[in-house]
Amino acid sequence: MWVIGLIVLLVLAFAVVPGLVSNHTKRTELGFSKFSSDVSAKQVKTAVVDNTTGVITGQLRNGVNYTVNGPNPVDNSFDKTMLKDGVVVNYVTTGQSLWPTIIQGLIFVLLFVGIFVWFYRRSQGQMSSVMSIGKSKARLYSTERPKTTFADVAGYPGVKQEIKEVVDFLKYPSRFKEIGARIPRGILLVGPPGTGKTLLARAVAGEAGVPFMSVTGSDFMEMFVGVGASRVRDMFQTARKEAPAIVFVDEVDSIGRKRGAGIGGGHDEREQTLNQMLSEMDGFDATEGIVMMAATNRPDILDPALLRPGRFDRQIVVPLPDLDERLPILQVHCQDKRVDDDVDLALIARGTPGMSGADLANLVNEAALHAVRRGANAIAMEDFDAARDRVLMGQRREGTVLSDEEKERVAYHEGGHAVLAYVLENADPVHKVTILPSGMALGVTQQLPLEGRHIHSKEGIEEAIVVRMGGRVAEMLVYGDLSTGASNDLVGNTELARKMVREWGMSERIGPMAWGSQGMVFLGEDLMHSRDYSENMSGIIDEEVDRILREQEARAFDLLSKHREGLNAVAAALLEKETISGADVARLVDEAYGRPVHENGKRSAVAQLDGAIDALDAPATLNGSSEDISVGQGNGSSHTSDSPEGPEDGPVATAGSQPGSTRPAPGHSS
């Protein structure tokens, strides 16, 4: 910048100064004829003749300065005339000034030097980046940095206690060494997405009082061979200099996948990086005072050598928050929001089972957006209700207009789900039924369990299949034909029935035998894997799955035939009001039946209403018309679980979508 400024000043000086100098003396310009007559009249006092240009300057006897363009070259006879007439004549020879030439040359020199310096610095930056490509990208946080502490993390007292032991060891090592306790070499945070694993690691950085290095798994990978391993070495060298220190690797599964897996054998560069990390964590050279922390939501794909004692000694599960943890999480996210006094966060916490911390943050934000859309100054309870429906069922599609025939079919489809969910003893109670298109669904039946369950009985799973069959059977019973509305109902039911037979031992013909689900080919687990049961057994499995589905379909047909009047009443109410509650479903079915369906009254309209408000602490189930979709547990979703415990204790949704399309609820797989 200073070079550019100097050049500008020189150019201005070159352009302005000569003009100022030349205009310093004011002169009157005379013609040569007038000048000759003035010389003859003896009016000219002095004359200065420029031999180069022929210009004559001087002063008249009356004191006027003049300038004349004389002959060039100068005529000697005219010179003699001026001398004869008493004019004092001087001759000068002027040459071109050297300053313009010097300034022009200086400008070019300065431009050349400036360009050279610019290219030199650019090349130096590129060389430094190339030379530092093997340096670790870990960010080092010291104790002077702004802190996030455990007080800023709502819930998870058990998780914080386990991590706090490591923090205490680093802060007060003598307390543990007195009895010979050894600090865990590594801590692996495992849990679903959005549960706050990285937030807990930031809290450790604030609580530890020791240097904290943070890096993501993808920071180790580059296009150059050996860069990942070099960065691992550099990271541990830096940590040793700062010891005691904590090293946190987020998304460790990106470099910690099983070695030698997948088509083609594996990824050599990633395996070299993993090998270097294994060596640094527990290799020939011991690393004292360094604690490794890592976070992942895919512990099943990590290399076994990474999980053995001496590497990651302790695995801490960060689960989805329960009721007691959801309330403080909601309170944290509502701190900077303007919330009405009538908002009951405890009730909202009971109505959001299965939601992670990120889901709850999104719920509060959706409620705030809904309050802004309706022009309110604060977030009210109705905004939270609308936000929960938005998260679970999707955005309401105001522009979708159904014909009368389609609306009636959707009403009977949803009515079939709702009636069966009410009349079956072990089915989750109905919370809401609507035929308003939401998300990809044309209609939704939402169920809210009254209590959390972790083990599911065979009878409960069969009744879940019956409820899913409700939409299909209702259409068969009323219209005598089928539509595309039950496609995902059938997918979910087939998956449940197959798990009952293959994994949960719920088939008398198969007996106490189980075969787990197929592994992913990209992990190399099933690339050359042959089926571990015979063709005959495969046929028996198919027959048992077919038997279960047909038996539950016949059961659904019998129940809906028995409560046909209740089905008609629920469908009529849906066509009239478009949205009805679970208590309305119970009342309509009981009135059409002529007496309470459940003699003990536990599933009456009052019980339905009380249960939906006061005893809610399990995810909801949504059943819907047209291409039904099942939603995963994270925000109250997933009709089935991949775990041996059976269907997940979560809001399970079968929400109707347009024919020909199937899509899981936001953020979850069906």
Higher pLDDT, 657 or 356: 356
Asked whether residue 56 is assigned to any structural domain, the reply reads no
Highest-pLDDT range among 43-52, 264-273, 414-423: 414-423
Contact call for residues 257 and 136 (beta carbons, < 8 A): no
In a domain, 153, yes or no: yes
| Closest among 205, 192, 215, 217 to 163, alpha carbons compared | 205
Of 576 and 8, which is predicted with more confidence? 576
pLDDT in tens, 580-606: 888 889 999 988 888 888 776 555 554
Q: 249 and 301 share a domain?
A: yes
Per-residue confidence (pLDDT) for residue 125, from 0 to 100: 57
Label residue 239 exposed, middle or buried (CB < 10 Å: 0-12, 13-18, 19+): buried
Mark whether 279 and 169 lie in a shared domain: yes
| CATH number where 336 lies | 1.10.8.60
Asked if residue 329 and residue 313 are part of one domain, the reply reads: no
In the chain, helix, strand, coil percent, each to 5?
50, 10, 40
pLDDT of residue 545: 94
Proportion of the chain above pLDDT 70, given as a percent: 72
What is the distance between the alpha carbons of residues 219 and 255, in angstroms, rounded to a whole number? 10
Q: Does the residue 87 lie in any domain?
A: no
User: Interhelix angle for 268-282 vs 227-242, to 10°?
Assistant: 20
| Angle formed at CA 67 by CA 65 and CA 72, multiple of 5 degrees | 150
Q: Three-state SS across 428-454?
A: CCEEEEECCCECCECCEEEECCCCCCC
Which tokens is 662 given? 């199937």
How would you classify residue 264: left for phi > 0, otherwise alpha for psi between -120 and 50, otherwise beta?
left
Clarify whether residues 389 and 422 are in a common domain: no
| Contact present, 36 and 82 (Cβ < 8 Å) | no
Give residue 138's pLDDT: 55
* CATH (domain of 575): 1.20.58.760
In terms of domains, do 459 and 363 share one? no
Residue pair 27/65 in contact (Cβ under 8 Å)? The answer is yes
Same domain? For 376 and 244 the reply is: no
> What backbone torsions phi and psi does residue 490 show, to the nearest 5 degrees?
-70, -40
120 part of a folded domain: no
Are 266 and 297 in a shared domain? Answer: yes
Question: Which of 393, 419, 452 lies at the terminal end of a domain, its last residue?
Answer: 393
Q: Is residue 94 part of a domain?
A: no
User: Which of these ranges, 3-17, 271-285, 405-419, 559-573, has the smallest mean pLDDT?
Assistant: 3-17
DSSP string, 480-520: SS--GGGHHHHHHHHHHHHHHHHTS---TTT-S---PPPPP
pLDDT, one tens digit per residue, over 502-536 is 988 899 898 888 887 554 444 444 444 456 788 88
pLDDT on residue 667: 32
**Number of Cβ atoms within 10 Å of the Cβ of 647:** 23
Domain contains 3: no
What's the rounded mean pLDDT across residues 43-53? 80
**172 and 251 share a domain?**
yes
> pLDDT value at position 432?
84
User: Does pLDDT of 26 surpass 90?
Assistant: no
Per the listing, tokens 């999480």 go with: 329
For residue 260, which phi and psi values (nearest 5 degrees)?
70, 25
What value does the mean pLDDT take over residues 405-429? 89
Please confirm, yes or no, whether 544 is among the known catalytic residues: no
Instruction: Reply yes or no on whether the pLDDT at 559 is more than 90.
Output: yes
Range from 10-19, 410-419, 580-589, 608-617 carrying the lowest mean pLDDT = 608-617
Report which listed range, 154-168, 292-306, 379-393, 405-419, is most confident. 405-419
Taking phi first (over 0 means left), then psi (-120 to 50 degrees means alpha), and beta for anything else, what does residue 509 get? alpha
Query: Where does the pLDDT of residue 473 fall: very low under 50, low under 70, confident under 90, or very high at 90 and above?
Result: very high
Q: How far apart are CA 99 and CA 83, in angstroms?
A: 36
Q: How many residues appear in the chain?
A: 670
Domain ends where: 342, 362, 393?
A: 393
Residue 232 maps to a domain: yes
Q: Is the peptide bond before 73 cis (omega within 30 degrees of 0)?
A: yes
- Note the pLDDT of residue 13: 67
Contact 462, 448 (CB under 8 A): no
Most confident residue range from 278-287, 342-351, 579-588, 605-614:
579-588
- pLDDT digit string, tens, across residues 71-110: 777 666 677 777 777 778 887 776 656 666 777 777 778 7
- pLDDT above 90: residue 558: yes
Residues 478 and 591 grouped into a single domain: yes
Q: According to the model, what pLDDT value does residue 634 have?
A: 31
Asked, for residue 532, whether it belongs to a domain, the answer is: no
Residues 333 and 248 in one domain: no
Q: Which one is catalytic: 414, 462, 475, 544? A: 414
If we measure between CA atoms, which residue out of 409, 455, 371 comes closest to residue 643? 455
229 against 633, higher pLDDT: 229
Residue 665 pLDDT: 33
Q: Which of 386, 388, 379, 384 is nearest to 340 (CA)?
A: 379
Peptide bond connecting 244 to the previous residue in cis, omega within 30 degrees of 0: yes
Number of structural domains the chain divides into: 3
Tens-place pLDDT, residues 104-142: 777 778 788 888 887 777 766 554 444 444 455 555 655
Rounded CA separation 246/186 (Å)? 10
Give residue 175's domain range: 139-317
Question: What is the average pLDDT score of the chain?
Answer: 75
